[in-house]
Amino acid sequence: MASLIYVFVGGGLGSLSRYGVARALLSLHLDFPLATLVANALSCIVLGFLMSLSFKETLSPEYRLLLITGFCGGFSTFSTFSGETFSLFNDGSLFYGFLNIGLNIIVCLICIYLGLRLGE
């Protein structure tokens, strides 16, 4: 039961953080879903850092559930990325659709690497 609480609390905090990023970037009025990219990139930096700690066994199983499964799972979202990309394609914005795919993959992989290096 405690495991569920860790994931629940972490997921809630991650979701609230994603909402905060979206609200903060709303004023930019972009045709591109920047908030999802930023949330995914930040989540990947955090995830990479936490993975590094986990590899060194300095992150307890409870903190892994709270932060990796819960927070990072709630903060980043593949479903939002997929829905926004589909909407871009559906609206005829092929350039932005493919840009969104490319940037999310490349930026998030770089951010995982940066997070791992931060944790060293």
112 is in which domain, residue-wise? 2-118
Give tens-digit pLDDT for 8-66: 999 999 999 999 999 999 999 888 999 999 999 999 999 999 988 988 888 999 999 99
Q: Which pLDDT belongs to residue 83?
A: 79
How many structural domains is the chain composed of? 1
Tell me if 72 sits within 8 A of 11, measured CB to CB: no
Check: pTM over 0.85? Answer yes or no. Answer: no
Mean pLDDT value of segment 98-113: 96
pLDDT (average), residues 56-77 = 91
Distance CA 40, CA 77 (A): 7
pLDDT for 56: 87
